[in-house]
A and B are shown apart, each in its own frame.
Chain A
């Protein structure tokens, strides 16, 4: 195992996990990783971290949108739709 190879692999792991590397580069990483126990272990931990991260939600929920705000949003929406259709906005 070549430490330099591990360094190079390390720099590309997010794109490797996301399958965004060119085919040739991806195959090179596959070849290195399958023969490198530390890399296998690290990739597994990174992959699981990314999967967990994608499901992240903060432990605080928003309050419901207040009725007055919702009504103001609805009015702004109606005006924009009217503008899009080329007619003057309704007041």
Chain B
């Protein structure tokens, strides 16, 4: 496993237990991965029925071919590779797929010509990783849905599922450099989407950087 893998130890243990035929591993695996694959597929294709079918078809292929898998460390990437292919064959054609990689320049926030300040919202009031606010959750949902598919797939595999860069590269048939490039762009786009929401949240008349009322 590569150095940047953040796979949960529980998932690795579950893969070992499943391959060893341990009691309870089957039920746990089916419930965990059915949810994971459904959420990945639903976010990629946007259709509940397709996502349900992808989840079931993927699990069937996993169990039918389980004897071919030798390394439990590769289980999660293997499952997601099957899921990605099932998703591709199922998915209705998207009009959002970009024909080219977005340039970083397109993703940089604007700068105020005079002050040199960035035109971004005040994020200081937002606690780390807090999505309890329903509006923020909706804003995140919209930002994720607006990601071009190339970037959405990487975001889901790398950031949500914590698969390593090497595993993502294997799942998506691209190089590790491409994974890094696309992950960065995915995050920048996500940030920009959330930034638009944060700006609407700031009280009118407050200074965008300090929060001090004018």
Contacts and interface: CB of A to CB of B under 8 A. Distances in A.
A in complex with B:
yes
Contact of A73 (B4, B30, B104, B136): B30
Contacts, number: 136
A14 B180 contact: yes
B12 interface: no
A51 B160 CA distance: 10
A50 B194 CA distance: 11
A72 B57 CA distance: 11
Given A58-B39, A60-B42, A45 B121 contact: yes
A57 interface: yes
Contacts of A81: 21, 66-67
Given A13-B184, A45-B121, A48-B128, A77 B67 contact: no
Contact of B60 (A59, A63, A72, A83): A72
Q: How big is chain B's contact interface, by range?
A: 35 or more
Interface stretch (B76-84, B85-93, B108-116, B167-175): B108-116
B124 interface: yes
Interface in B143-199: 144, 155-156, 159-160, 162, 180, 183-184, 187-188, 190-191, 194-195, 198
A11 interface: yes
B35 interface: yes
Main secondary structure of the interface of B (DSSP, over half): helix
Contacts of B35: 61-62
B43 interface: yes
Interface of A: 1, 7, 10-11, 13-15, 18, 20, 37-38, 41-42, 44-63, 65, 69-70, 72-74, 76-77, 79-81, 83-84
Interface of B: 3-4, 19, 21, 26, 30-31, 34-35, 38-39, 42-43, 48, 51-52, 55-56, 59-60, 63-67, 104, 108-109, 111, 116-118, 120-121, 123-124, 126, 128-131, 136-137, 140-141, 144, 155-156, 159-160, 162, 180, 183-184, 187-188, 190-191, 194-195, 198, 209
24 contacts: A41-B123, A41-B209, A42-B109, A42-B118, A42-B120, A45-B123, A45-B198, A46-B191, A48-B123, A49-B190, A49-B194, A53-B159, A55-B131, A56-B144, A59-B137, A62-B35, A62-B42, A73-B26, A73-B63, A77-B26, A80-B63, A81-B21, A81-B66, A81-B67
